[in-house]
Amino acid sequence: LKPDVYPIVGLRAMISSIFGVDAQEAMMLLQAMIGLKMINVDLSYPILETGLIKIISNDHYIGLNANGYY
């Protein structure tokens, strides 16, 4: 999976890098973060059209694209 096609892969890679874990563990951490409402992904945002994931954390919007934060 390519980060520019599937931006969630970029988020997984970023988590993997930050925590020093492999891709599978990073995905489990990402699922836990979303499940525990530590972060929220704005699913109404056109991810495939824009190549950007919109994350809501502490009432702040963070965009993530294939190159990192936006």
Q: Kindly give the parts of the chain with pLDDT less than 50.
A: none
pLDDT of residue 24: 92
pLDDT of residue 22: 93
pTM for the full predicted model? 0.53
pLDDT of residue 14: 79
pLDDT of residue 29: 85
Helix, strand, coil percentages (3-state) for the chain, rounded to 5, are: 45, 20, 35
Is-contact 24 9, C-beta < 8 A?
Answer: no
Q: Cα–Cα distance between 45 and 50 in angstroms, integer? A: 9
pLDDT of residue 30: 82
- Of 68, 61, 56, 60, residue with least CA distance to 11: 68
Q: Cα–Cα distance between 68 and 3 in angstroms, integer? A: 10
